[in-house]
Chain A
Amino acid sequence: MPQPKRTLKITLSALLLWSVVGLLTLSAQEKQHFSGPYQIGKYKGEADFTFTIQENDSILEGSFLMQKSSAKALLADGDDSFSFVGNFTKGKPTGFWKLQSGSYQSGNGGQVVDYQYQLNLNGVQNLASGTMIAGKPDGEWIITVDSIENSKVKTNLFKSQIEFSEGKPVSNFKLENENYTLIGRVLRNGLAHDEWTLFANDAIDPQETWTFENGTLVKVSVLNNSETVSTPLFSTSENELVESKLNKPFLAFVSGLIAKKQGSSSAITSVLIKNSTYYKEVENIFTALGTAEFQPNFKIKVPYYPIDTVETRLAASITKTYQKADSLTSSIVTNSHLNIVKRSNSRVQFLYAVVEQLKSTFLQPLAQVVQLEQNELLPYVNRKNLVATYWVNPPTKTITTTISGSTETFSAPNTDMLDFTGGDLQTVANYSEYTLKALQAIYDELAQDIKQGEQLASLAALEEKLLSRTNVIEQVLKATEGELPETHTKAIQALKDFAEKELSIYAAMPEGGNKLRFGQQLEQCLAQLDQLAEYIADEPASYAEVQQLYTDQVWNPFMYIIMDETVKKRLTGAYESVLRPYFFETITTNLDCSKTENLLSQFKGSIVALKRLRKEDTRKLERKLKREKDPKVVLQLFNLENNAE
């Protein structure tokens, strides 16, 4: 009956389709409300918002509120409170937004007003407010960071006012921190324009001015000792210009260039970086909730030098070589033994000085090139002038050092083919090669000392261990004074004498060579001697346990008394009169590091064997033990022959 079945199938599928479509439309339309604990990054609080569900994603729609403040926490040890208020449309922040966060402590004074207790606050408050359209800032956005004392603004730590139009900054902006105010202009398309000027709050003349021509930063003027020094930065003529965001890595790059040319760091870049940081914080909150782009979005035009694969590979190899050279440097510079040796050894002192020179002449500028490579900023740098840009003077292969009046030179071996005459990426690559070779050569020459330093360090650690190991035996001897049978005390004393004898052999060995190896073996040996000493100290107690085990209680019918009877006397007898004397004899007259491990395991093992044998049928064994005086044979009969020599 296939026909009806099929009809049924079709009907079912149709029904299913209908209901799925129905559900989808229903959910697309239906707003859901959330109210409860919520977390965005470090912010944990109570949220209240509405959302719809689309393809398993919750899309925020409508008003949004999230906040936290705890009076109890505030009174105890301060409260981190925040409140984020705004609107979403289709998951994008839209409309007026106010984001406030702060960390407060309760201040002095307080009063009751209209049945409410008002408390003064101390702390720092961050406040960002402005309008968003479709996830982008639009209109003026103000971000302030204020220091609050007794509920009043004490200092304005930072203030940023930027006018946006659909996410792009327009017209004027103003950034302030405690000391400076930066005023700048941007074109409608977000490109920096005209002059960006930084004023000190307590001076009239501008501290630093960036002059833009059509978005290109052509000149930087810095007030230095009441004199303005201007230096050109990017040229508008020489090359193709591209737009670039003035983001953190780019600002660091610009800052580096300015520092190179001006000899001092740029205050404008630090204000801009700070501003970017605050914008990023707000953006993190927005993107956690929906889709948004919240950046100052200043753009500049910079010369662009397309980079080819050869250069890309060169840059990568410079980075690699630099990293190797850097780690070699630190292993030389941080070796404590070298640091001591250089005081008495002029050659080491010289090489040490060479390393310092290599660091400042090659490694530090190389680090900046590596940074460019890692931040993908190389295309914005004219690689033809790379050396001129990052090296004050082109370095030479000969490193000259002057130590207490006498001058010596160093140059890395086998580096003739490395060409230092150019100024491009290849030359920089040659610099890095040279530096690595130089450091390698120095490391090789110092290797003996470096290794010896390491060895000396391990010897010192080893010697401490050796002494503490020897002390253990001494301590056992003291702790058991007068409490052990003479045989036991004598044996421990013999262990101590032996340990001291071995220690003196070690002490008499010359430094270097086999000393470390001998010491390490001795350490192992002493560890076993310690265990042996401790075991001997415990032996009477362990054997007492065995004796207990081998004692039966017997009722004597003539005395009417219960008496202890030792059973299987041949077993305990073999231990008492053959094995134990043999162990002590070996310890006192015939000890040797190669025997200690064996001895200890046999000594311990014989007690274990006795405990085991108590429960077993040992008639045969007892017969074999009769009159057996050879410890080797007894050990075999006790099944300890595997350890026997």
Chain B
Amino acid sequence: MNSIFKTFGCLLLLVFTNILTTYAQDKTELPEEAVYKDPKTKVWLNTYGNIRISKRLFWDAQTHFRFEETKNTPFLGQVGQIYNRHAIGYIYSKKVSFRAGGVVRINFNTDESSTDRNVVPEWRIWHQYQFAQPVYTAMIYHRIRIEHRWTQGFAENSEYIFRNRWRYMFRAKIPLTGHKLEPKTFYVSPEAELIMQSGKAVVASPMEDLRLTTTIGYILTPRLTFAAGAMYSQGQDLANGGFYKQNWTLRFHMYYSPDFRKVKNKLPAIHFDD
């Protein structure tokens, strides 16, 4: 385990060094001071599926609906992205899992005045390393997620640009009712995620996003949990690193983990160390 942490530690360090050098060479016109754009409001409806395939393998299936405010739809907004993230995961132990897969994101043009294309796809390959740790009655999680991303603008015949995303998320889940995370329990989950990016297109804006979220969740059954919360995020504009986008996002999550395996295959499911 330690070695895994170390490897990713080195990797992260490398990325930061790289970004810093890139930034030093940048020659675009930067504003005198950092400019914070007005915060946008968004609503995310996220479903997280975790479907067991075998004793150690599972299918991670996520579908998110992301709404953005527009002039006509000031708060709830209209659909900005539909986001399909899939992966095959491996349960290394009760506290550690790895996964790798792909993402197809459908980006909708929310600029009402735009005459460009309305819909463009975005492609990603991603891998993730997650570590859990019990602390008193709570759990804390470290998540490292690395994405290789191909995006294009809405403009006709626009080129795909390739970027890497380096994400680290720290999250805690603290039971509010009762003394442990179990069915019929409310919990609060504060989380902070830093998303850095790199690539040829990334000149002066390595910090793509910093997300600070708090959600309140309810564990309905071991296989179904609902959560809702608010997220504040900020990040540098890709075009000019002196400009910072800001977002307030309402997030609604459903976590489900069905197990369609036969009973006899299910039974030893928890004994990962057999």
Interface of A toward B, CB cutoff 8 Å: 552-565
Contacts and interface: CB of A to CB of B under 8 A. Distances in A.
B198 interface: no
A565 B180 CA distance: 15
B181 interface: yes
Contacts of A554: 222-223, 259, 269-270
A563 B183 contact: yes
Contact of A558 (B50, B52, B95, B180): B50
B260 to A, nearest CB: 14
A558 B221 contact: no
B23 interface: no
A58 B183 CA distance: 92
B222 A565 contact: yes
A365 B180 CA distance: 96
24 contacts: A552-B267, A554-B222, A554-B259, A555-B94, A555-B270, A556-B181, A557-B52, A557-B257, A558-B48, A558-B257, A559-B132, A559-B219, A560-B139, A561-B180, A561-B181, A561-B182, A563-B181, A563-B182, A563-B183, A563-B219, A563-B222, A564-B183, A565-B222, A565-B223
Given A557-B91, A563-B219, 19 more contacts: A554-B222, A555-B91, A556-B181, A556-B223, A556-B225, A556-B257, A557-B52, A557-B89, A557-B97, A558-B257, A559-B132, A559-B219, A560-B94, A560-B97, A560-B141, A561-B182, A564-B182, A564-B183, A565-B183
Closest 6 CB pairs of A and B: A560-B132, A563-B222, A554-B222, A557-B50, A565-B222, A558-B255
B269 A559 contact: no
Contacts of A564: 182-183, 222
A562 B183 contact: no
Nearest to A558: B255
A556 B48 CA distance: 13
B24 to A, nearest CB: 41
A160 to B, nearest CB: 93
A565 B225 CA distance: 13
Contacts of B141: 560
B255 A562 contact: no
B211 interface: no
Interface in B58-112: 58, 89, 91, 94-95, 97
Contacts of A553: 270
A556 B224 CA distance: 9
A564 B178 CA distance: 15
B173 interface: yes
A51 to B, nearest CB: 80
B61 to A, nearest CB: 12
A622 to B, nearest CB: 14
Nearest to A554: B222
Contacts of B132: 559-560
A559 B173 contact: yes
Contacts of A556: 181, 219, 222-223, 225, 257
Nearest to B256: A558
A555 B269 CA distance: 7
Contacts of B259: 554
B95 A562 contact: no
Contacts of B219: 556, 559, 563
A553 B50 CA distance: 17
Interface string B236-272: 0000000000000000000101010000001101100
A561 B97 CA distance: 13
A561 B223 contact: no
Contacts of B181: 556, 559, 561, 563
B39 to A, nearest CB: 29
Contacts of B91: 555, 557
B221 A565 contact: yes
A562 B274 CA distance: 16
A555 B89 CA distance: 14
Nearest to A563: B222
A77 B141 CA distance: 86
Nearest to B255: A558
Contacts of B269: 554-555
A120 to B, nearest CB: 85
Nearest to B227: A558
Nearest to A569: B221
Q: Determine which residue in B52, B58, B222 has the highest number of CB atoms from chain A within 10 A of its CB, and name it.
A: B222
B118 to A, nearest CB: 34
Contacts of B225: 556, 558-559
Interface string B39-64: 00000000010101000001000000
A4 B225 CA distance: 108
Interface in B133-180: 139, 141, 173, 180
Contact of A559 (B48, B89, B139, B266): B139
Contact of A562 (B48, B58, B94, B266): B94
Nearest to B58: A557
A146 B182 CA distance: 95
A555 B97 CA distance: 12
A553 B268 CA distance: 9
A187 B239 CA distance: 159
A559 B223 CA distance: 10
A114 to B, nearest CB: 89
Contact of A560 (B52, B95, B223): B95
A303 to B, nearest CB: 103
A289 to B, nearest CB: 81
Contacts of A552: 266-267
A563 B266 CA distance: 14
A210 B2 CA distance: 124
A320 B173 CA distance: 99
Nearest to A567: B263
Contacts of A561: 139, 180-182
B133 to A, nearest CB: 9
Contacts of A557: 50, 52, 58, 89, 91, 97, 257
Contacts of B52: 557
A562 B273 CA distance: 14
A555 B50 CA distance: 11
Of B50, B58, B139, B221, the most chain A CB neighbours within 10 A belong to B221
B50 A562 contact: no
A553 B266 CA distance: 10
Contacts of A562: 94, 270
A556 B173 CA distance: 13
A558 B191 CA distance: 14
Interface string B175-205: 0000011110000000000000000000000
Contacts of B97: 557, 560
Contacts of B139: 559-561
Contacts of B89: 557
Interface centre among B97, B257, B266, B267 (most CB of A within 10 A): B257
A553 B180 CA distance: 15
Nearest to A557: B50
B23 to A, nearest CB: 37
A489 B186 CA distance: 33
